[in-house]
A and B are shown apart, each in its own frame.
Chain A
Amino acid sequence: MIRGDRIFGTVMIVIALGYILSAYGIETSFMSDPVGPRVFPYLIALVMIVCSLVMVLRPDPEADWPAAPMLLQLGIAFAVLVAYAYAITPLGFILPTAIASGVLCWQIAGKPLRAAITGAGLGVGLWVLFRLILGLGLRGLPAGWGF
C-alpha cells in the first residue's frame, strides 16, 4: 500500500484550496494593475493542485519511513526544538542550550552522564564563542541574573 505520496498530495490539495479561498479575500485597491494581487496566487494554487493530483494518482514507491521507536525519537527532537524556541528569550542562552543539546546528545549516544557533560559544554562553549569572541547579542542567563 503506497500512502506517503497520496497523503501528502491530498493535504496539499486541501492547502491549495484554502490558499485560493484566502486569495479570493485579498482586498484590491484603486491602484490595481491588470493582474492585481490575486491572479499570481491563483496560478500557484492551480499548479499545486495539478501536481498534487499527479502525486495522488501516480504515487512513487513508498518511502522508507522510520519505525515507531525512531518516530518517537524524532517527535522528541521536534518537541525539544519547539520548547527551545520558547525558552531562549526568557531563560537566556546557556541553560536552554545546555538542556536542548543534552537531550539531543542523549538521543544519539544514550548515555546520560555523557549527554549532561556535552550539553553543559556546548551551552557554555557556544555562549563564549558567540557572545565573547564573535560579539553577538545573546543574553547568557535569565533577565536580571547578570550577563
Chain B
Amino acid sequence: MDILSNLAMGFQIAASPYTLLLAVIGCFVGTIIGALPGLGPSNGVALLIPISFSMGLDAISSLVLLTSVYYGAMYGGRISSILLNIPGDEPAMMTTLDGYPMAKQGRAAEALVVSGVASFVGAFAATIGLMIFAPYLARVAFKFGPAEYFALYMLAFCTLGGIGSSNQAKSALAAAIGLAIAMIGLDKTTGMPRFTFGELHLMDGVDFLVAIVGLFAVAEVFFFIETHGRDSAIGVKLGKIRVPWKMLRQTSGAMMRGTGIGFVSGVLPGAGASLGSFLAYMAEKSLARDKDSFGSGNPKGVAAPEAGNNAAAGGALVPMLTLGVPGSGTTAVLLALLLTLNITPGPLLFTERPEVVWSLIAALLIANIVLLLMNVPMVRIFVHILSVPAWILLPGVTMVAFVGIYSLTGSSFDMLMMVGFGALGYVMRKLSIPTVPAILGILLGNAMEDNLRRAMVLSDGDWAFLFSSPIAVGLWIAAILGFVAPIFLRGLLKKPALPDDDPTTIED
C-alpha cells in the first residue's frame, strides 16, 4: 500500500500542467535525438542538462524533462535503425538486424509500430519494476558503511569497464583517468589545493558537465566530421501507418521475454541497454522454431530487442537511484544531473526526498504513455525530421553544446576545457578506450576517496577493514568476477555482424 500512496503523491506533483508540458517536450525532443544517427541518449541528455539549468528549472522539473528525453531517445533509436540501417545509438543496433530487412520488404510502417509498442511494453514494465524493487534495494543499502560503498564503487568500475570494452586494461585506464580528473580542486578534508597548478578556475575542480558534454557531444562532432560528414540528405518514404494487430499478438511473447531479460540486464551494474537488447534478441532466436527467418525480417527480431533495450533503460535507474551507482552511460549522465541538483542518490533519497523519487517515477509512467502516442500514430513526423542534412545537423549540435556550457558557466576557460575533452574523447574512442568509465570516475571519484578515508579513520588506518563485512567481501568478489569474467565470456557473447547493405531509400 505504501507504494500506491507514494505513487499518488508522485502523480500529484508530476501531473501538473507545467510538468506534463515538460514531459511532452522532453519526449518529443528525446525521440528526435534518438532517431538522428550518431546522437544517442547519453549525448542528448548531456547536451540538454546545462540548458535546462540555465533555464532555471527546479529540481523536479529538470528531472521530468531530462528523463523524458532519456526515455524518448531510447524509443527514437529504433527509427533510424529500421529506416536507414543506422542505429541511432548502440542499444538500437540489434533492431537493425530484422527491422531494416522488414523496411526493405515494404513493411517499414509495421516494423515501426511493432517496435514502438515493444518499446512501450519494455519501458512501462521496467518502470513498474523500478517502483517495486528500488525501495527494497534502498533498505539493503542502509546497511552500507564506507567500506561497503568503496567496494560498491569498485564493482561499478569493474563491471562497467569489463562488459563495455574488449580490453580490460583500457577500461581500467579510462576509469583511472576519470578518477585522476576528479582529484583536481580543493581537498575536502584538509582544504589544500590539489593538481590546480595555481589556476583559479581549477580550485572548484573540473565541472563534470563540462567533461561529459566534451567527452560525449564534442567528441561526437569530430567523429561526425570524419564518418557521416559526407552523407547528404537521405530521402525516406513510408507507407500508410496501420496498427498490425495480428503481428502484435504474434510478437507479444517476444516482448514479454525481452522485457524480463532487459530489466535484469539493466539492474546489473554496468550491463546496460546494449546487453539487454543483445540478450533479448539471442534468447528469442534460440527459442524460435524458424531460426533462419531471424535476420531477414522477422517481427519478433524487432520486438524482443526493442522491449529489451527499453526495459534495461528503466532497470538501470534502480542501482542509480538506490545506490548512486549508474548501470549505463546515460544513467551516469543522469547521475551528474542529480548531483548538480544537490540530490544525492542513495538509500536516504527514498526517505529524505520521497517527493523527488516518486514524482520521477510518476513522470516516467506518464512519459511512456506520451511516447506510445507519439511513436505510433505520429511516427511520420520523426521520419521527416530524419532527413535533416548533416551539414545543418552537425553545426547545430555543436553550437547547442557550447550554448549550454556558456550560459551555465559564462567562462571561456570551461569551453576550452570542453573542446579539450572533446579531443580526448575522440582519441580515446579511436583507440577503443571506453569513455563511460572515465565519466564514472569523474562523477564518483570524490565520493570514492571520501569513503576510503572515512573507512581508514574508523579503522585507524587498517586496510583490512575494507574487506571486513560479508557485504563488502561479496561486492569485492563480484567486482573481480565482473572484471575477469568477460575475458573468458567474450567469445560466447560475440555480437552478430550488422547486415552490410548500404542505406538506401525505402519505397512504400
Contact = CB atoms under 8 A, between A and B. Distances in A.
A125 to B, nearest CB: 9
A108 B177 contact: no
A101 B194 contact: no
A146 interface: no
Interface centre among B54, B406, B422, B432 (most CB of A within 10 A): B406
Interface of A: 4-5, 8, 12, 19, 22-23, 26-29, 31-37, 40-41, 44-45, 47-48, 50-52, 54-55, 58, 60, 63-66, 70, 73-74, 77-78, 81-82, 84-86, 88-89, 93, 97, 100-102, 104-105, 107-109, 114-115, 118-119, 122, 126, 130, 134-138
A85 B55 contact: no
A63 B432 contact: yes
B392 A48 contact: no
B183 interface: yes
In the complex, the 9 A-B pairs of residues with the closest C-beta atoms, listed nearest first:
A101-B395, A34-B461, A85-B415, A51-B173, A54-B169, A109-B391, A104-B395, A37-B187, A136-B407
Interface string B212-242: 0000001001100110011000000000000
Given A8-B427, A19-B180, A108 B230 contact: yes
A85 B419 CA distance: 9
Interface in B457-492: 457, 460-461
Contacts of B423: 78
Nearest to B171: A51
Secondary structure type dominating chain A contacts: helix
B253 to A, nearest CB: 41
Nearest to B433: A8
28 contacts: A8-B431, A8-B433, A12-B177, A19-B180, A22-B197, A29-B191, A37-B189, A37-B190, A40-B453, A51-B173, A60-B431, A73-B225, A77-B221, A81-B218, A81-B422, A82-B416, A85-B402, A85-B419, A88-B402, A89-B412, A101-B395, A108-B230, A108-B390, A118-B391, A119-B395, A134-B55, A136-B407, A138-B403
B349 interface: no
Given A22-B194, A85-B416, A93-B403, 6 more contacts: A4-B430, A40-B452, A41-B194, A104-B395, A108-B391, A118-B392
A128 to B, nearest CB: 12
Given A73-B225, A82-B416, A108-B225, A26 B395 contact: no
B107 interface: no
A105 B195 CA distance: 38
Nearest to B197: A22
Nearest to A73: B225
Interface string B418-436: 1100110011001111000
Contacts of B197: 22
A22 B184 CA distance: 11
B190 A32 contact: yes
Given A23-B194, A41-B183, A55-B170, A33 B230 contact: no
A51 B169 contact: yes
A66 to B, nearest CB: 6
Given A34-B460, A88-B412, A51 B229 contact: no
A120 B368 CA distance: 37
B380 to A, nearest CB: 24
B396 interface: yes
A136 to B, nearest CB: 4
A31 B189 CA distance: 8
B179 interface: yes
A137 B419 contact: no
B456 A101 contact: no
